[in-house]
Structure 1
């Protein structure tokens, strides 16, 4: 971007991180004719004014900063690239405000755990996505444990680290009670040297504590989430988080990432008051973070976050949440259709049906009973997967999963599987509806179905119980009390019609 005559804005959420990026860029571009400026709390008013003037007249090529870059005073002469680090820490308004500065700005967002809205837009094709999956050499995965809080767990975790000459982060995110926590830790761990760091401390004091911790004058840092971004201490390889159930999934992953920044094995302990008393979402978050401890697992955690919280809005400001009025599956289909139309250079047809479906009614309960699959969210998930299955193989895979988790299918669940198998088989034949009562089955076709008319005539001549009922209906009169037998009868009739004409033509 710089060699092309454009300016680059580098946006970071915290002053510490902005300073770190500034120093890195200055080192990297030391031999290049590139002018770099920083706009953050660490700079004087005079330096910030000089940077403002530089980006306005084009003499500054790269500017690194915090939210100051988003102020109305920051006017760029020729902004070409916006880089947002730790994207999950910014709101929609902040990011959109930056893009509004110039219509032709390229935006690169960096994050280990994208928020649901951003990830949803990438998966829907509205944004490009690339994953850096290769970890630095000799880097080990962080071992993660979820435990009920207790003095024994804390003492064991801290002493294990201190005995190998390392340092520990102890995260206590309530500034009002952090001094009380320090007293308790001193009682449990008389051998530890404990320092406190949080965002309400004076800047100079906070800077001194952090510098002393890096120099290993303290071996336990009792801190708030101020350490979440921009802190890189290779000798700190254990982190203990009190009340881990109160943190979000991305936050847990970011905090865990403060340790394990060298070739030593790192440990993360997530402490909760009582595992059984946690909310459903808190349990899901902790299970996900514990399961996803491999290197580069941030992307998969973000996918879990997307599933747990929903994808938010594309045109609105909500960065998470579900489209409850529409339903997430339908919303995604509508969005995919609109994106595909716009990419092809045509207006999306808002009135056209998204997909042609076949209505199957076996006149019997078709569901997963409560006493078979107790979790309502899990049942809905299986219903959704079955409804979107397009092949018998997909239904077989789901059936294996259901039987493996819950055991032999009850009759209602078997009927549900029969309904979807029939739906998948019927669609290529142009079937609009199957109405199968115990005495009469009616198969309704759409106009001009892809079926050879001679096969229909042949079928009626050979089977006295099958009749034509109008131009587009087959009527089967036979007593079949079992829904499974009715489904089998419809399958046999459709297969006797041969391959759909369209399928033959393309074969």
Structure 2
């Protein structure tokens, strides 16, 4: 209000909205607050909106009815209470009610402690913060489709198999089948085998929701880079706090699998008698020699095209494996 504009305050519980107005008025006695919601008479809503448009009020306490095209250029601030209860498309639509003139706009989405948020709600809010540019609607719609799941692509039901396998994987399967029908060459996906003696899983006392745990497994299983894995870790820390060792192990295994695919390595396995073996390395001994100098515990076996990392009785060092894989990728590119 001190910025010279007006405010939309979205509170979507009609039963409690009058009580909310009293609380706000008590907190800010000098602020003029109007109230409107979908159960009011049409003429009454029209009068309130006209008075708000004429700047007789500073704040409009309202429900989601404002998403239906109420454009007032002087409104420069939006406050949404309990934003975690809204759908992503709905939040995007409501956010569009401000910033419709030359004035800089501000949108505040309030939610309870992130520890009690479900993962899907957290992802919705995170998506809004990541897509603030003009023309973000398509990206938000695609992200919304991924978060909620979708119905059958070729059918009438509004639910199908997408949610059970993940949107990206479902699209990948469909694309491969379409390419086959077109007679195009479909590259076979490399099945990377990772066998390391570490506990790697998502415990129930870390993420209670089974659906959220499944979504996290899917997200880690489909990463394309270390940076993508770190973004997931950052989101988990913000959402749940300190990450257990078993989850860190899971993230590291996801990184190893991602890097192994890039290096065209088929297996990363632990053999008690030998150590960690990277099997079917696509580099010659000549190329590997710099790594043998850099890592004393590393050796190359010509016969099987294997890189051996001797560990002895020491704990498996996942970060060391990741460094070596990155070096192998760098050597392959040079």
* TM-score, length of structure 1 as denominator length: 0.44
Match of 1:262, SS state, is: coil
Matches of 2:269 and 2:256, distance apart in 1: 12
Other-structure match for 1:482: 275
Tell me if the contact between 2:32 and 2:57 (Cα under 8 Å) persists in the aligned partners: yes
Partner of 2:4: 165
Distance (whole Å) between structure 1 residues aligned to residue 251 and residue 112 of structure 2: 39
Aligned equivalent of 2:261: 420
Partner of 2:196: 365
| Structure with larger Rg | 1
Tell me, yes or no, if the aligned pair for 1:168 and 1:238 is still in contact at 8 Å.
yes
Q: Which residue of 1 aligns with 2:60?
A: 221
3-state SS, counterpart of residue 222 of structure 2: helix
Contact persistence 1:322–1:328 (CA under 8 A):
no
User: Which of these residues, 22, 41, 45, is aligned with residue 183 of structure 1?
Assistant: 22
For each residue in 1:341-374, what CA deviation from the matched residue of structure 2 results, as whole angstroms up to 9, or x when unmatched? 67x5x9x9xxxx9654556668x43999349xx8
CA RMSD of aligned residues (A): 4.2
Mapped contact 1:245–1:286 kept (Cα < 8 A): yes
Gaps of 5+ in 1: 1-160, 387-397, 427-433, 440-479, 496-507
Matching residue of 2:322: none
SS at match of 1:269: strand
Question: Which residue number in structure 2 is paired with residue 237 of structure 1?
Answer: 76
**Residue from 246, 260, 275 that aligns with 2:99:** 260
Q: How does 1:341-360 map to 2 (within 5 A)?
A: 356-357=188-189
Q: CA deviation at 1:416?
A: 3.9
Write the deviation string for residues 103-137 of structure 1: whole angstroms up to 9, x where unpaired: xxxxxxxxxxxxxxxxxxxxxxxxxxxxxxxxxxx
What is the CA-CA distance between 1:219 and the residue it aligns to? Answer: 2.0
CA contact (8 A) 1:175 1:224 kept: yes
Change (3 A) 1:177 1:484: same
Flag the 1:409–1:268 CA change in 2: closer, same or farther, 3 A.
Answer: closer
SS in structure 2 opposite 1:238?
A: strand
Hey, what does 2:122 align to over in structure 1? 283
Aligned-partner Cα distance in 1 for 2:47–2:255: 67
C-alpha displacement at 1:312, in angstroms?
2.9
Conservation of the 8 A alpha-carbon contact between 1:366 and 1:416: no
Say if 2:193 and 2:269, in contact at 8 Å, map to a contact too.
yes
**Aligned counterpart, 1:303:** 142
Contact 1:243 1:272 survives alignment (8 Å): yes
Out of 327, 332, 335, the residue aligned to residue 171 of structure 2 is 332
State the TM-score, normalized to the length of structure 2: 0.63
Question: Residues 310 and 412 (structure 1 numbering): CA distance in 2 closer, same or farther, change over 3 Å?
Answer: closer
Residues 41-96 of structure 1: per-residue CA shift (max 9 Å, x gap): xxxxxxxxxxxxxxxxxxxxxxxxxxxxxxxxxxxxxxxxxxxxxxxxxxxxxxxx
Residues 238 and 267 in structure 1, CA contact (< 8 A), matched pair in contact too = yes
Gap regions ≥5 residues in structure 2: 208-212, 235-247, 285-301, 306-334
Per-residue Cα deviation, 1:356-394 (whole angstroms, up to 9, x for no partner): 4556668x43999349xx8854453232346xxxxxxxx
Matched residues in 2 for 1:166 and 1:435: separation? 60
